[in-house]
Amino acid sequence: MIKRILVLIAIVLALGACSKDHEGTDNPGSGSGDVTGGVTDVTPVVSDLTVNLTTDKACYNPGEKVHFTADNMPSGAKIRYRSMNKLIDKVDASGNAWAWTAPAIDFTGYLVDVYRTKSDGTEVILGTIAVDVSSDWTRFPRYGFVATFGAEKTIEVIQEEMTSLNRYHINGVQFQDWHNKHHWPLGGTRDHLEEVYKDIANRDVYTNVVKNYIAVQHSYGMKSMFYNLCYGALDDAASDGVKEEWYIYKGTNHSEKDYHDLPSSWKSDIYLLDPANKEWQAYMAQRNDDVYVNFDFDGYQIDQLGNRGDRYDYNGNKVNLPKGYASFIEAMKAKHPQKRLVMNAVAQYGASQIAGTGDVDFLYNEVWGDEANYNDLRTIIRANDAYSNHSLKTVFAAYMNYNMDNASFNTSGVLLTDAVMFALGGSHLELGGDHMLCREYFPYAGLKMTDALKTAMIHYYDFMTAYQNLLRGGGEEQTMALTTTNSNLKLNAWPPQTGAVTAYAKMVGGKQVIHLLNFRNADSTSWRDTNGTMPEPALLTDISFNLSVSGSVSRVWVASPDQLAGASQELAFEQKSGMISFVLPSLKYWTMIVVEYK
């Protein structure tokens, strides 16, 4: 693993309340030393979120037309387009529908806000929405899922579901449990598809529903990925041409196949094969060819079942599953080089081998109880960066509130986990067409999203998309010094601690980016919030900070998914003797501070 410099935050606590006026204190940069610069005249910004915005796609090519709609555009409103905090364009609003030509620069996030200006000069944010201009969705993957394909999924229902995912800017969708059999995905044959067939749980799957999902997703610019294990077969596989010599076994004498136990009401248990077996690879490559001929899928989401312990092939040789995963991926890519591939690294099992193929398009980690700490998420992202030579992004399959049932998700637990994942540069597979994910069995819908969570998630996904170049654009973790004059506020360096605000900092493209994550009221440092007990953090306002800087600062600005619907806000600051002082307007779950240099 490439070793980077860990974040170090020197905490200096002083008596006194937060104040915008630091003159006369002993803090460097707050009255001592020569004044070297600063900004004092900034526009006040407030929000009145009465305008809901939508776009016609989840992502766009450079130069493509972006079509917007607003449900309640007031007279006198203006529309502003910004990349990070840089103004790209500003126009007067005229009507509830309009178009904007995306700039020619590829792989860039934008935040579009509708606002008005009060007579005293204060800007009022009325609504925001992000735009992703990226010619390849895997550069900044935002992964969702669909998992139910019954008769109730009419074209109207599918359209409604995908409209919802589009508002979250989901640009790739995983089709879970869509197939007939793991070893024979099609319902029917290559030349004669069945109109309806049964999935592994004996649920009805309608072929036209699968096709309609793909078509509607493509109309939104989303990509469609079919799910399947790399090594699964049902108990009738021999009749479909699967050979005994291809399986993996629990002992050396091929007397007991390895298998994954499933409920007796389901079609079958799943028996496991050697992913490195060349005949099995050729068999599955042909089955996938049958799929691609009949369905317009964009790629294959490959799954595994984690570390199986010692397992053996038919001839008694110990099987190296991670090496087999790599061999399987390479065989699938060779058969269909234009199709995308993603493979699950369950609890990081096989992660280096999967990334090392160079044939997967991002890295996908299903995380469990032995990776339950927030710091484990950072460890995984750093490992994935090293495995892929910093070329692939990380998506977490992470199941929230796992022990809860027939209830609503705990909003505070979900938002704090997403705040950490997004701040670290990862993303979270969690949003489905008709429900939010809470178990490894994707069709399970035992927990519901409250209206408050749905609204908050729109802001969080807008934020991740709009600021993707700062959040997911690389950079180096940074050593810095941040201090506060608030004696009631405890700051700590990464990793998170309960009772404190945790700071995580990077230098990205010459910009100093500091993420403040609020764990003051947290009841644990586990992202899982297994029983839904994570408390809502108390809002902090007007927090005075001093920050050591490495040069002459031109601008300090902040943005948060919890405030102003993610719109950026420039801050007044003073620079003296290698230090800047500023007042942070607010911190709920997560606020991002950005320092730009001259």
Q: 564 with 578, same domain?
A: yes
DSSP string, 189-245: -SSSB-SEEE-TTS-EEEHHHHHHHHHHHHHTT-EEEEEEESSEE-TTGGGGT--GG
The answer to whether residue 132 scores a pLDDT higher than 80 is: yes
Determine how many CB atoms are found less than 10 A away from the CB of residue 391.
14
- Supply the pLDDT for residue 435: 97
In a shared domain, residues 39 and 107: no
Place of tokens 């605000």: 501
Taking 80 as the threshold, does the pLDDT of residue 11 lie above it?
Answer: no
Mean per-residue pLDDT, 27-36: 40
Domain boundary among 129, 149, 180: 129
Same domain, residue pair 109 and 40: no
Q: What angle (nearest 5°) sits at the alpha carbon of residue 240, between those of residues 238 and 243?
A: 40
Which DSSP state fits 247? B
Give the pair of three-digit tokens for residue 308: 């199986």
* In the predicted structure, residue 13 carries a pLDDT above the cut 60: no
- Residue 446: what pLDDT? 96
Flag whether pLDDT at 6 surpasses 90.
Answer: no
- Whether the CB-CB separation of 537 and 589 falls below 8 Å is answered with yes
What integer is the mean pLDDT of 515-527? 98
Instruction: Say which residue the tokens 């091929």 belong to.
Output: 254
How far does Cα 79 stand from its chain's mean position? 27
Span 233-282, pLDDT tens digits: 999 999 999 999 999 999 999 999 999 999 999 999 999 999 999 999 99
Q: What is the CATH number of the domain that holds 520?
A: 2.60.40.1180
Query: Residue 507 domain-assigned?
Result: yes
How confident is the model at residue 311, as a pLDDT? Answer: 98
**Confidence band of 487 (pLDDT split at 50, 70, 90):** confident
Q: Phi and psi of 158, rounded to 5°?
A: -60, -45
409 within domain boundaries = no
Span between the terminal Cα atoms of the chain, in Å: 34
pLDDT at 20 over 50: no
Strand runs labelled E in 284-393: 299-303, 340-346, 363-366
Average pLDDT over residues 19-33: 32
335-363 per-position pLDDT tens digit = 999 999 999 999 999 999 999 999 999 99
- The reply to whether 55 and 39 lie within a common domain is no
Backbone angle region of 470, left / alpha / beta, with phi > 0 → left and psi within -120 to 50 → alpha: alpha
**Separation of alpha carbons 307 and 421, rounded Å:** 25
Residue 234 forms part of a structural domain: no
In angstroms, what is the C-alpha Rg of the chain? 26
> Are 571 and 487 found together in one domain?
yes
Pick the closest to residue 128 from 569, 448, 595 (CA basis). 569
**Is 8 domain-assigned?**
no
Residue located via tokens 């800087």: 549
Q: Is residue 429, in this structure, part of any structural domain at all? A: no
Domain boundary among 78, 98, 129: 129
Residue 479 is predicted with a pLDDT of 80
Residue 176: pLDDT over 60? yes
Residues 210, 176: Cα–Cα separation, whole Å: 11
b/e string for 15-37 if b means 16 or more Cβ within 10 A?
Answer: eeebeeebeebebbbbbeeeebe
Span 403-442, pLDDT tens digits: 999 999 999 999 999 999 999 999 999 999 999 999 999 9
Closest CA to 296 of 203, 201, 219, 198: 219
Across the chain, mean pLDDT equals 93
In degrees, rounded to 5, the angle at the alpha carbon of residue 84 between the alpha carbons of residues 417 and 577 is 95
Alpha carbons 369 and 251: distance in angstroms, whole number: 29
How many structural domains comprise the chain?
2
- Cβ atoms within 10 Å of 536's Cβ, excluding its own: 14
pTM: predicted TM-score of the whole model, two decimal places: 0.93
In DSSP terms, which residues pair with 345 in a beta bridge?
365
Q: What is the pairing mode between strands 123-133 and 143-146?
A: unpaired
Residues in the chain: 598
Query: pLDDT per residue over 66-83, tens digit each?
Result: 999 999 899 999 999 999
Written as one letter, the residue type at 57 is K
| 291-339: pLDDT as tens digits | 999 999 999 999 999 999 999 999 999 999 999 999 999 999 999 999 9
Q: How far is 454 from 433, CA to CA, in rounded Å?
A: 13
- Strands ordered across the beta sheet of 482-484: 35-39, 573-576, 579-587, 540-548, 482-484
Alpha carbon distance 226, 286 (integer Å): 15
70 shares a domain with 39: no
258 domain-assigned: no
For tokens 């690294």, the residue is 345
Q: How confident is the model at residue 288 (pLDDT cuts 50, 70, 90)?
A: very high
**What does the pLDDT read at residue 390?**
95
My answer on whether 40 and 114 are in the same domain is no
Residue with tokens 């750093």: 382
Cα 588 to Cα 560: distance, rounded to the nearest angstrom:
9
d(C-alpha 201, C-alpha 91), whole Å: 54
Residue 344 carries which DSSP code? E
**pLDDT at residue 1, as a whole number:** 38
Domain holding 531, by residue range, is 35-45+475-597
Report the alpha-carbon distance of residue 3 to residue 19 in Å, rounded.
39
The per-residue pLDDT for 27 is: 32
Dihedral, CA of residue 152, residue 154, residue 160 and residue 163, to nearest 10: 120
- Average pLDDT on 57-62 reads 98
CATH code for the domain of 116: 2.60.40.10
pLDDT at 486: 87
d(CA 380, CA 388): 12
Task: Work out the average pLDDT over 23-52.
Answer: 68
Give, as one character, the DSSP assignment of residue 188: B
340 part of a folded domain: no
Domain end (from 107, 129, 151):
129
Residue 4: predicted pLDDT: 35
497 assigned to some structural domain: yes
Neighbours of 296 (CB within 10 A): 11
Q: Mark whether 582 and 516 lie in a shared domain.
A: yes
Name residue 569's amino acid: Q
What per-residue confidence (pLDDT) applies to 9?
Answer: 34
- Measure the CA angle with vertex 531, ends 530 and 537; round to 5°: 90
Average pLDDT for residues 198-221, to the nearest whole number?
A: 98
Cis-peptide into 44, omega within 30 deg: no
Q: Is the dihedral of CA 141, 147, 149, 152 positive or negative?
A: negative
Tokens of 356: 């090392």
